[in-house]
Chain A
Amino acid sequence: MQDFGEAFGLAFGLVASGDADLVEIVALSLRVSLSATGLACLIGLPLGAFLAVSRFPGRMPAIIVVNALMGLPPVVVGLLIYLALSRAGPLGVLGVLYTPTAMIVAQTVLITPIVAALSRQLIEDLHAEYAEQFRSLCLTRRQEVQALLWDGRYALLTVALAGFGRAVAEVGAVMIVGGNIDHLTRVMTTAIALETSKGDLGLALALGIVLMVIALGVNAAVQSIRLTAARFAYA
């Protein structure tokens, strides 16, 4: 297979030349997936914390459902969001189908359960450690949640990264609701799918390599923030 060598060469060439199309696609990938991760954390972290500390009838089934939703197939999410945002659908008047907004919505739906389920487990474990102390301080449930989210923030960063990883890597949902439109909704994964279908396997693999490097970069950035923050906290 000469494709591997060719792909690395192409990937390096693309990055080194600062190819304008590539920059645009990478920027959109990051914009969509980081926005989705942000929104998913806004919804998923409080939801996870709520499920972790509260006790109500039906809590167990709710946890099982959230856990099961981690396995939502991206293409199903894409289809649901397409049906909702289609001109013929209930939210068609917004006119956001085939825009980055639709892609952000789809990825948010996709990864919110991941953020909620993982943070629920994490916070529940943390809560078990803190429960007595909380009781002695007579905290309200809301204060408990805030304290737990704050104390668990570094571990929760990993939860956010898991969500981001899922979002940036999926192709099924953004393909359907974004349409892979050149210069409008084309992201890394849909571009890779397109080049593969053109039989341009070298370029497809090169884009894959670039995507992996970006994921690596985002993870490294988060890790360094975490280490720096932790050093200040214990200094």
Chain B
Amino acid sequence: MEKLSRRMFGAATLALLIAAGAEAQDRSIIVQSTTSTANSGLYDYLLPIFNDKTGITVNVVAVGTGQAIKNAANCDGDVLLVHARPAEEKFIAEGGGVERTDLMYNDFVIVGPASDPAGVAGTTDVEVALSQIAGKGALFASRGDDSGTNKKEIALWKAAGVDPKAGSGEWYRETGSGMGATLNAGIGMGAYVLTDRATWISFGNKQDYRIAVEGDDDLFNQYGVILVNPEKCPSVKAAEGQEFIDWILSKDGQDAIAGYRVADQQLFFPNAPAE
């Protein structure tokens, strides 16, 4: 019995090692990124172009910005592409990444049901809109997951001088899930939701929802790209990762981002610093 189990354990370990070896051959990198960029279909459009050019396969792990940064801090990824500038700068300061560069932007919007229970449709001042939602106790669905969108939302509540946590579980509903899941939940219960415009445009389950609040400068949504620090994480594929970053910041990459359209609308606006 003992010998048998030892043999089995050996075989299992061997199988693991073989499988691990077989998967590590070709040139590939892991990009830790956000659900908003992945759900909008940007990567499905962008990555084949990059792959044709360089032969590098880019594997995207799409999680919230908070989790993406934690995964990268654990060295489980080569490139970080997220949207929460203060958190990104903290990540760099802690030695997790080499350098942060602006990549592209779009904006956030607040979507709500056609019945507009808080009467905020058409408002262009997001702080006013949020105070009105809170004041009327209209339902609001929050990501509640420490993602970039969630961090943005918390900052906006603060600017509006409202503590939504006081209404947690009542009118303020924290779903603790990704952008799409939160939209599904919010639409299901008739709540307002803060979402990035890209996810909203490409979202398939809009029902009677429409954009209620847009156009405030505070709703700006900047994405940045960072190479995970190879000095801290020797496993990082620095050459391939840098090649990806160089491309996506180059004119070719930036043009490709600008060329991605859904429903005849441009989803992301490239704004990398000129070379």
The answer to whether B178 and A197 touch across the interface, beta carbons within 8 angstroms, is: yes
Taking the closest CB of chain A, its distance from the CB of B218, in whole angstroms, is: 26
Q: Which of B19, B43, B181, B205 has a CB less than 8 Å from the CB of A100? A: B19
A71 within 8 A of B: no
Q: Which residue of A lies closest to B200 (CB)?
A: A199
Of listed B19, B30, B62, B179, residue having the most chain A CB within 10 A? B19
The answer to whether B19 and A101 touch across the interface, beta carbons within 8 angstroms, is: yes
The answer to whether B74 and A179 touch across the interface, beta carbons within 8 angstroms, is: no
Taking the closest CB of chain A, its distance from the CB of B26, in whole angstroms, is: 11
B60 within 8 A of A: yes
Known: A87-B74, A98-B76. 10 other contacts (CB 8 A): A86-B71, A92-B75, A92-B235, A99-B20, A101-B16, A101-B23, A142-B1, A198-B203, A201-B204, A201-B205
Of listed A43, A94, A181, A194, residue having the most chain B CB within 10 A? A181
The answer to whether A179 and B59 touch across the interface, beta carbons within 8 angstroms, is: yes
Q: Which of B44, B75, B178, B184 has a CB less than 8 Å from the CB of A86? A: B75
Q: Do A199 and B184 contact each other (CB < 8 Å), given the known contacts A99-B19, A105-B16? A: yes
What are 23 A-B pairs with beta-carbon distances under 8 A? A42-B12, A50-B1, A86-B71, A86-B75, A87-B74, A87-B76, A87-B233, A94-B16, A95-B20, A95-B24, A96-B16, A96-B20, A96-B23, A100-B23, A101-B19, A104-B19, A180-B62, A197-B184, A198-B204, A199-B205, A199-B206, A200-B204, A200-B205
In angstroms, Cα B204 to Cα A194, docked, is 12
Contact code string B179-197 (vs A, CB < 8 Å = 1, else 0): 1110110000000000000
Of listed A43, A97, A105, residue having the most chain B CB within 10 A? A97
Chain A positions within 8 Å of B73 at CB level: 88
Give me the 5 closest cross-chain CB pairs, A-B, nearest first.
A197-B180, A199-B205, A87-B75, A199-B204, A179-B61
A223 within 8 A of B: no
A62 within 8 A of B: no
Number of A-B contacts (CB under 8 A): 95
Q: Which residue of B lies closest to A181 (CB)?
A: B59
The answer to whether A199 and B180 touch across the interface, beta carbons within 8 angstroms, is: yes
Q: Which of B12, B74, B179, B202 has a CB less than 8 Å from the CB of A39? A: B12
In angstroms, Cα B23 to Cα A5, docked, is 40
B106 within 8 A of A: no
List residues of chain B with CB under 8 Å of any chain A CB: 1, 4-5, 8, 12, 16-17, 19-20, 23-24, 30, 35, 39, 43-44, 59-62, 71, 73-76, 177-181, 183-184, 202-206, 233, 235
Interface residues of A in 166-197 (CB under 8 A from B): 179-182, 184, 194, 196-197
In angstroms, Cα B179 to Cα A194, docked, is 11
A11 within 8 A of B: no
In angstroms, Cα B24 to Cα A100, docked, is 12
Chain A positions within 8 Å of B205 at CB level: 199-201
Contact code string A32-58 (vs B, CB < 8 Å = 1, else 0): 000000010011001000100000000
The answer to whether A196 and B59 touch across the interface, beta carbons within 8 angstroms, is: no
In angstroms, Cα B59 to Cα A97, docked, is 12
Chain B positions within 8 Å of A201 at CB level: 204-205
Q: Which of A86, A100, A184, A199 has a CB less than 8 Å from the CB of B59? A: A184
Interface residues of A in 195-210 (CB under 8 A from B): 196-201
Taking the closest CB of chain A, its distance from the CB of B191, in whole angstroms, is: 15
Chain A positions within 8 Å of B44 at CB level: 182
Taking the closest CB of chain B, its distance from the CB of A14, in whole angstroms, is: 16
The answer to whether B16 and A181 touch across the interface, beta carbons within 8 angstroms, is: no
Q: Do A43 and B8 contact each other (CB < 8 Å), given the known contacts A87-B75, A98-B59, A197-B184? A: yes
Chain B positions within 8 Å of A101 at CB level: 16, 19-20, 23
Q: Do A96 and B30 contact each other (CB < 8 Å), given the known contacts A39-B12, A43-B8, A181-B61? A: no
Chain A positions within 8 Å of B74 at CB level: 86-89
Taking the closest CB of chain A, its distance from the CB of B95, in whole angstroms, is: 13
Chain B positions within 8 Å of A110 at CB level: none
In angstroms, Cα B19 to Cα A229, docked, is 33
The answer to whether B8 and A42 touch across the interface, beta carbons within 8 angstroms, is: yes
Q: Which of A43, A94, A196 has a CB less than 8 Å from the CB of B20? A: A94
In angstroms, Cα B233 to Cα A167, docked, is 33
In angstroms, Cα B77 to Cα A181, docked, is 12
Chain A positions within 8 Å of B179 at CB level: 197
Interface residues of A in 103-128 (CB under 8 A from B): 104-105
